[in-house]
Amino acid sequence: MCSDQLEVLIRGQRAPIVGRVCMDMCMADATGLGAAPGDEVELFGEHLPVEGAAALAGTIQYELLCAVSPRVPREYLN
């Protein structure tokens, strides 16, 4: 996949995914963001549309959304 091009939001700031996404885990470089254990991380949302990640991966958004493990907490907003 294209994990070296993906980003997440931590404390409202973009952080690049580092390494490979494996099983249901990934790592992001939060250097300089002041991140702390327990901070929320946005995978897809208003500022990180799933369509962008799907385009990078060469797939459709539904495939990415369905691939997120049930162990990952979700919060749906209007």
Q: Is pLDDT above 70 for 3?
A: no
> What percent of the chain has pLDDT above 70?
95
Instruction: Give the pLDDT confidence score for residue 39 in this predicted structure.
Output: 93
How big is the CA angle at 57 (ends 70 and 17), to the nearest 5 degrees? 70
Query: How far is Cα 54 from Cα 60, in angstroms, rounded to an integer?
Result: 5
**What's the mean pLDDT in 40-56?**
91
Of 15 and 68, the one with more pLDDT = 15
* Cα separation values, 59 from 16, 19, 31, 35, 41, Å: 20, 20, 30, 31, 23
Question: pLDDT digit string (tens) for 8-28?
Answer: 999 999 999 998 877 778 899
Which pair of tokens denotes residue 66? 């369905």
Set out the domains of the chain in order of their start, with CATH numbers. 3-67 (2.40.37.10)
